[in-house]
Structures are given as C-alpha cells and as structure tokens.
Structure 1
Amino acid sequence: MTPTIRQLLARMAAEPPHVADMSRRRFIGNAASFGLTVAAATALTRHLAAPAMAQGVTLPEITAVPEKLKGSGVVRVCSYGGALQDAQRRAYFKPFEELTGIKVIEAEGPDIAKVKAMVETGNIEYDVTEQEGASVLALAAKGDYWEKIDYSFFDVDNIDAAFRHELHVDMLPYAQIFAYRKDAFRGKTPQNNKDLWDTAGFPGPRALMGGGALSPDLEVALMADGVAPGQVYPMDVDRALASLRRIKPQVVKWWGSGAQPAQLLADDEVAMATAWNGRIAAIQAAGAPVEIVWQDQLLRNDCFAILKGAPNKVNAQKLTAFITMAAPQARLSSLITYGFVNNKAAELLPPERLRLLPTAPDTKPKLINYNAAWWAANLDAVKGKWTAFLLG
C-alpha cells in the first residue's frame, strides 16, 4: 500500500460513520486511479462500511401532514448515499412527496467547499444539504451562505432547543459511547467514565479512539479525572492527556475506524472500548455479549441547512420541517440505529428498539452534547499534542 493510499484511508476512517461510508464508495469507484482493482479497493475499505439498513421492519405510518407543509414544485436535497440515504428515502423523502405534492430530487455527496462555490456563483444545484453543525458555522463565519431556518413550519413544541439553531436544524443524532464485555468482570457492571479508567476494579485491555486521523477521547478522559459533565467544554487538553497517560499502558489499540472497537469487543480482545453506538448495536444483534454505558457519553448530530439563495428555499423549509416530525424521525430510527430529535417519536417505537437509541427518554438525559464547534477551532492544536503523546 502506498503512503498516499494509507493517508487517504486514515482520513476516511476519521469521518462519522455515514460520511466514511460515502468516502468508501467513492474510493472503490475510483479504484483504477489508485492502481487498484475494485476487489482490492473493497477489501481495503471494508472496515469503513456503515451497518446495513434493517429489513422486514414495520414503519410507523404517516397519513397526513399539516396544511402549511403542502405545496407544489420540487426540492433538491443532498445527503450521503448508501444505506443512510436509502433509509432516508423510505423514512421521509417518499412520504413527503406523496403527502405534500412537492417532488424530492436527490443528490449525493455533501461538500462544504461546493456549497461555498455554488452560493458565490449563484449556480445552486441543491437547496438543502446534510452537514455537521461545525461545518455550517465555519462557513457562516466567512460570509452569508445560509438561509435562516423558519421555525414557523416546525413542531417546535417537541424539538429540544438544543437541536434548533438559527442556520441549521439537527436531525440525525448518534452517540459516542463506551461498551464492555458482560463476561469480563464476574458480574460487576461499569457505570461511568471513572470505571472505564479503573483498571483495578475492572481489569482488562482497553481500546480508545485516537488512531489514524481520529481525534482522541479527551472528553471521557476529563470526566474520568473528575471534571463534571457540564464543565467539560472548553477542554483543558493538557489535563485530558495527563488522564489518558494514566490508562495508556492498558490501551492495546487506539482505534482509527468505527468497525475496529466493535470487532475487538466481539473477538474478546478487549474488555472495554469507546465506540459509536450503531457499531455496538450491530454486534449485539449478532449475539456478542456486549453492553453499552450511556452515562456521561457524547451525543453527536448531523443537521440540515438551506443554501442562501436556494431556488426552492420555501420547499426546503417544508422538507426540513417534515423530516423532524415525530413519525418520519421514528421511521428513520426503525431502519438505522440513529436517534430522533422529535420527542414524540419515542411513542412510535417499540421498547426493544428504543433501548438501542441515544435519544430514548431514559438515555438522552445521561448524555452531554458534543461540542463540534470547539473541536473545529482546536483540532490542529490537539493533533500536535496527540502525536507527541503517542510517541512519548
């Protein structure tokens, strides 16, 4: 493997699960340009594939929509393709078309640089795009690139204020958690981040995030060191690294892709690992004796944002509002183990599904909101210190 391909794979692995899956599909499609066969490119990126969409599930019905969401014409939306966009199509794009009279035209591959260029040239190819909130805010700091979200279309009574922003609205929650082998501690049960660090009370090897291009688990390191969840941000990076140094001898893998910690747990190579909740749900479904600890873990989110000057901006507001209604959110959560932003969605999901989701009523209060804006502002500084930590 050439250094260029190795560096590219590391960067791809550092992306959120659905973004990594999109990058994987693009890499495979361009295999020849890297001197690879499709089979070789597929093998190299197998660990980046997102969990498959659930099959044979009954989705909550959507029989009507508010009159204010009905209309005509089209709306153009850009998402990440693959299993995620297949699920989004079933969960809400198709029902939106059928119930509102507005046709949804899909695109794949959100690109913040492309958004910037489209708005600046006026050649806008899609109206609304899925993004991370930090990307929306970073571009907004450079100019007027986004429409304000019109919450008069939304079910605001059932969407937490933390999910509602001026220029974007959250719509795809997932969690960064830690999980443990249920057969590792003779009946003892880890409860929080201090237990993740307690190698005497809960002995065994660990896997923590920080390999490849992924950032390290600074938040859990600080909470393990006694920082209160509400005081994690802004982070004291040096204190977090000092905390990580204490557990470093027990860390057998600094993982760099979402599949790695799940596989290590399933293969009984580690007793505990930080991970993304969807990856753990997949091995649980396959029978692995693994459990998630939700307490004081991180709730992350994707959002939808509407491009400034979008030709179908009113329809984009309507689509975004529809997506965040209870039934469409519950339909998506039925297909892929992402959470929901509409609190009423919980009433439409069976208990066995809710227990897998980060925004279930019993789970969400345990989580803290991941501060993507802090990471965007501090990532380069953290990376320099992290590299020195790994070498030291």
Structure 2
Amino acid sequence: MQRHPIRTISRRRAVSVIAGGFSGPFIIRSVGAQSVLPEQATVPSILKGSGEVRIASFGGTLQEAQRQAFFEPFENATGIKVRIVPAPDIVKVKAMVESGNIELDVVHSDLTATAYLMKAGDYLEKIDYSLVDDGVGKLYRHEYELDFFVYAQVMAYRTDAFERAAPASWADFWDTKKFPGDRAMYGMGAGDPELEFALMAAGVAPEGLYPLDVDGALASYDNIKKSVAKWWQLPAQAIQLLADREVTMTTVYNGRMEAMQAQGLPAAICWNQGLARRDGWLVPKGAKNKVNAMKFIAYSTMPIPQARFALAITYGPVNESAFRYLPPERLSVLPSSPEIRKQLVPFNYNWWSANRETAIAKFAKWLLG
C-alpha cells in the first residue's frame, strides 16, 4: 500500500529442500470461533540461524497479522530474534544508507518506493532467490524487492441502497441516475489519484489503460465531481462514510471492508475493474543482518506462512501453493485467488513511478479548481 511520501522528490537444491518442508504434515491451531491457522511443523535448516533481524512494519491490524503469520513463527522455528520497529518513510531509509547508520534489515515497502531508491542510486540489496520457494509467481519477484501480499483498490457500496441491481462497473459508479446517492473517492494524501477508475468509467478498456491519459481522466472526473461528498485521505474515512450512510458508494482498499462486513453492516465489494496492487519486502544496502533478512523474506513467502497471513487479514498470497491451505469461503475474499484476480486490473507501477509527479500535480490542480 502506498505509505511512502516520496513526492518530495540457482541453488536449486536449496529451493527443493524448502519446498519439501511444505509437503509434510501441518498442524491446525484454533484462533477463534471463525478461523484456524495452519502451522509449519518443520522449517528447512537453511533458514535457521542465530542473532536478530530488525523489521520495519506499519503497525495496526496489518502488523498484528504479520505477527501471527510471520514474526512469531519465524522466531520460534529458526532461532532468529525478530525486532519490530516503526517503518520510516523511504526518504529516511535512503538517509540511513547514506550515513552508514542503518537501523533496519527488512522494510515493508512497495514497488513505488523501490523504484525511487533504485533511481536514486545503490541503496538496496538484491533479493536472494536461492532461498525463495518456486511457488512464488514471476509477477511478484523483483531484483530488489519480493512482494508478500496482494491487495485491491475497489468499489464498495451499501447493499440496502439499491433494490434492483447492484453496481458492477465504474460506469455504474459514475451513473448517479441509475444508482443515486453521494459518493466518496480518494483525494490527496500519500497515495495516487484514481485515474484508472475515471478512465474505465469513460469507456476505456482495462487492457488499454496504460499509458494513462491524465487529461482524459480529469475530463471524466468532471462528470462525477458534484456527486462526490467526500474526497478521503485516509482509508478508514471511506469505511466510516459508508457505515454512517453518508455515501452509498466509495472507493476503498479491500482489507478495510472485512471489519464492516463482520459487524453485519449491509455492504459489499465490487471486484470487477478493481486495481490489483502489491506490497513487498526490501533490504537496505549494508543491512547489518542481511543474511537473516533474506531468511525471513524467504520464510514469509512459504506456503503455510502465506496462508496464515491470508487467514488473519483479507490480503492475498503471492505463493500459489498457499491456496491449498485456505477454505473456499476465504478464497472468495482474497484478491489473488483465481476467481477474483481475473476480475482485477494489474496496477502499473512502472507507469506511476515515471509519471507520478506530473499526474498528481494535474489532479491536485483539478481538485482544487
């Protein structure tokens, strides 16, 4: 997820050993009335070690899911102590490397931040893919970052607002006659304007979105602007607006909807034409515990840890083998599951990395105009 304010600016044998760790028996431990977490009965010896690894995380429910899925099991299984520290913005990571005072070994990041550091210079360690399971798809593997979950930027709506048909596309979101009521959309903050949604509402096919026509997107925004009651900055605001009946539809990150739906509030996600996005791990250049960092990253993308994470929070695995440990009802709400991911549009990190400043400046001028 975009949390990095950067606009201011084979060892085939090792792989087979790791894969072998998944085929043996695993333990199911209850974590409450509604879910269970699979447990890794053994861990490959190549991932064991000593010392510590310092991991930067963003806190909140996401960090709690990481604790259950990755941090505690990794520490218990490998003997490597996990120290959690608050995640800095990516500019501070850059400054740490430049000063030589690197206080982190693993940073929760995304491809936008990684691209910024790669463009700036030699600030990252290459990922050691000799340790990473073959089940992690090519899409999620990058030279200096390994994705560890998939989330989606989607439309959410109140099911009690529409008696006949439910909105099924961004054209429907824009259609305030057929689907009346106020809307909420992302405005200005640390993220990116939702230009893709505006273009699809105007009839641009998902496969023809990139390169984005920024001016065309702003023209499409003109048609919905009067119906947008709130341009939210924080994801929690979008959910609150929906829960309080201030809007009938909003853009939202899928993980934010779980708590609302668990409370029985009448709301649903439209997956069609949502954006599939990913978060990953990176290792700052010169990290003091580089070896342990690579072991942790490899562990977190093993099938069972991936399944644990997907059961703790509704973000999808990057390891295809994780799906075998997930029940059908859970797969039905995960962005990387086969049935949902085919409805989503892959977010183009390369385009946004190259065009972010210009696109945001044009959107801000339009929004404030």
- Give the TM-score taking structure 2 as reference length: 0.85
Unaligned residue ranges in structure 1 (runs of 5+): 1-14, 21-53
- Shift in alpha-carbon separation, 1:85–1:387, aligned structure 2, 3 A: closer
Rounded to whole Å, the distance in 1 between the matches of 2:278 and 2:88 is 15
Name the count of aligned residue pairs.
343
Alpha-carbon offset, residue 192 of structure 1: 1.8
Is 1:175 equivalent to 2:152 in the alignment? yes
Query: Which residue identity does 1:140 align to in structure 2?
Result: M
Counterpart of 1:269? 246
Is 1:107 equivalent to 2:80 in the alignment? no
Aligned pairs for 1:122-141 (under 5 A) are 122-141=100-119
1:98-117 Cα offsets, whole Å, 9 max, x none, are 22232223322233233223
SS in 1 for 2:98: helix
Is 1:244 equivalent to 2:221 in the alignment? yes
Rounded to whole Å, the distance in 2 between the matches of 1:63 and 1:265 is 42
Counterpart of 1:325? 302
Counterpart of 1:382? 359
Alpha-carbon offset, residue 131 of structure 1: 1.3
Is 1:80 equivalent to 2:80 in the alignment? no
Alpha-carbon offset, residue 150 of structure 1: 1.6
Counterpart of 1:66? 44
Counterpart of 1:343? 320
Rounded to whole Å, the distance in 1 between the matches of 2:108 and 2:224 is 37
Aligned pairs for 1:1-392 (under 5 A) are 16=2, 57-156=35-134, 158-211=135-188, 215-392=192-369
Unaligned residue ranges in structure 2 (runs of 5+): 6-30
Counterpart of 1:8? none
- Shift in alpha-carbon separation, 1:198–1:77, aligned structure 2, 3 A: same
Counterpart of 1:46? none
Alpha-carbon offset, residue 154 of structure 1: 0.8
Mean Cα displacement is larger for which, 317-326 or 341-350? 341-350
Query: Which residue identity does 1:220 align to in structure 2?
Result: F
User: Is 2:184–2:231's contact at 8 Å kept on the other side of the alignment?
Assistant: yes
User: Is 1:346–1:361's contact at 8 Å kept on the other side of the alignment?
Assistant: no
Alpha-carbon offset, residue 379 of structure 1: 3.1
SS in 1 for 2:338: coil
